[in-house]
Structure 1
Amino acid sequence: MTSCDTDDLSSDLTVYAARLVRLVRREHAPSAGTRVLSILDELGPLGITALAQADRCSQPTMTGQVRQLVEVGWVTKTANPADARGTLVALTDAGRAELRRIRRLSAALVSERLARRTDLSTDDLATAVAVLQAVLDPTEGHS
């Protein structure tokens, strides 16, 4: 494969991955809180500032989102042992359950669309997943 092929396919991968995310969002209309739950699931407990940076929003916006998530019991705020002035936001079991519920809805949407595509196999899907995992895990494949 040439560098041009790789560049074109990499661009296509980015475009179609983003379109898939937008499709899922349109169908389920997840809240901004869903993104926060996903970030905490991926990165672990974070302070408000780090969480806002990860979500690319302002600190006041993130403070409001976290407040709402605390109210519904999906996250907790505890004192940050590394910074007495700050707090750490962490997922609760209820937050993890909500994230699993949302992910099941997303999976059902994709599964339903895949079921209509008789030209695609489970192996094709496994390859797509493996490629996305490899792109997202920069440490894999390095010796």
Structure 2
Amino acid sequence: MENIEAVLDVLTSSHRLGLAVARETGSTTPAAQWRALSVLHNHGPLRLGALAAACRVTQPGITRLVRGMTVAGLVEKHPDPSDARAVVIRITDAGRAARADWIETVRTVLAPRFADLTDDEWAAVLTTAALLEARTADVTIGAE
């Protein structure tokens, strides 16, 4: 199992890449906002608890985050069709556009860091990405 350290290194490096992008762009937007928008974009409307779990944020934390994103027009709250007492959070067109802009910013900032990779190094990156995708395909979003 000592090879598992390499997977931990990927996880740590992934976090550092996010920090590098935030620092290089001067972004003060919480990473949880981009996670929330991506989760909603990829998986559709979710109740607050499910969104909190998917973003690894506390219930009070997601409530504050969603409040700010609602004010900014990035998400909307709607009654849950299966439970009138609850709400679901939906991404708006403005939220989709903000997410797309951020992804393009990330691409632009990261491109120079990887511009000098060889074909073999790119093949290793692509293989790693495919392995990580395959090994996490069973992780579900939306369960509270």
Q: Considering only CA atoms, is the larger Rg found in Structure 1 or Structure 2?
A: 1
CA distance in 2, matches of 1:39, 1:85: 23
Match of 2:113 in 1: 113
Gaps of 5+ in 2: 140-144
Q: CA deviation at 1:19?
A: 2.2
Q: CA deviation at 1:125?
A: 3.4
Whether the 8 Å contact between 1:34 and 1:99 is mirrored in structure 2 is yes
Length-normalised TM-score, structure 1:
0.77
Query: Is 1:49 matched with 2:49?
Result: yes
Q: CA deviation at 1:107?
A: 1.2
CA distance in 1, matches of 2:67, 2:59: 12
**RMSD over aligned Cα, in angstroms?**
2.4
Q: CA deviation at 1:47?
A: 1.2
Q: Which amino acid aligns with 1:27?
A: E
Q: CA deviation at 1:69?
A: 1.4
Aligned 1:98-109 pairs, distance under 5 A: 98-109=98-109
> Quick one: structure 1 residues 61 and 39, their matched pair in 2 at CA, closer, same or farther if it must change by over 3 Å?
same
Report sequence identity in percent: 32
CA distance in 2, matches of 1:23, 1:60: 28
Match of 1:78 in 2: 78
CA distance in 1, matches of 2:5, 2:67: 42
Match of 1:127 in 2: 127
Length-normalised TM-score, structure 2:
0.77
Aligned length in residues: 136
Q: Which amino acid aligns with 1:25?
A: A
